[in-house]
Amino acid sequence: MAGDRKKISILVTSLTSGGAEKVISLLLKKLVVDFDVHLILIYDLIHFEIPGEVHTFVLSRKPLNTNFSFLGKFTEAVKGTSRYLGILKRNKIDIAVSFLALPNLMNSLARMKHSKLRTIISERGFPTDNTTSKISYYISKVFYPLLYNRNDKLFSNSVYINQDLAINFKIRIPMEVIYNPIEIPKLKVSPDQLTGDDGLLKIVTVGTLSERKNQKMIIDAVAALNKGYELDIYGNGPLNEELSKRILKKGLSNIVHLRGTVSDIYKYLVQYNCFVLSSKTEGFPNALLEAMAIGLPCISTNCLSGPLELLNGSQDTIFIEDGSFFKGKYGLLINNRDQKGLASALVYFKENPPERRKYGELAMKKALEYDLSTVYRQFKTFITS
Q: What is the rounded CA–CA span in Å between residue 230 and residue 241?
A: 20
| Spatial contact of 251 and 275, defined as CB atoms under 8 Å apart | no
* Distance in angstroms (rounded) separating the CA atoms of residues 167 and 311: 25
Per-residue pLDDT tens digits of the chain, which is 385 residues long: 455 799 999 999 999 878 899 999 999 999 999 999 999 999 999 989 999 999 999 998 776 665 666 666 667 777 889 999 999 999 999 999 999 988 999 999 999 999 889 999 999 988 887 766 677 788 788 889 999 999 999 999 999 899 999 999 999 999 999 999 999 999 999 988 888 767 899 999 999 999 999 999 999 999 999 889 999 999 999 999 999 999 999 999 999 999 999 988 999 999 999 999 999 999 899 999 999 999 999 999 999 888 999 999 876 789 999 999 999 999 999 999 999 999 999 999 999 999 999 999 999 999 999 999 999 999 999 999 9
Q: How far out from the chain centre does Cα 198 lie?
A: 34
Provide the whole-model pTM.
0.89
Rounded (5°) CA angle 178-179-183: 125
User: Is 55 in a helix, a strand, or coil?
Assistant: strand
Distance CA(384)–CA(283), nearest Å, equals: 24
Rounded to whole angstroms, how far apart are CA atoms 173 and 270?
A: 43
Domain boundaries, the chain: 2-177, 191-369
CB neighbourhood size of 32 (10 A): 18
Is domain 2-177 classified as CATH 3.40.50.2000? yes
Residue 17, amino acid:
S
Task: Return the closest-CA partner of residue 194 out of 38, 313, 356.
Answer: 356
The span from the CA of 318 to the CA of 316, in Å, is 6
CATH class name, domain 191-369: alpha beta
Instruction: Provide the 3-class DSSP secondary structure of residue 9.
Output: strand
Same fold, 2-177 and 191-369: yes
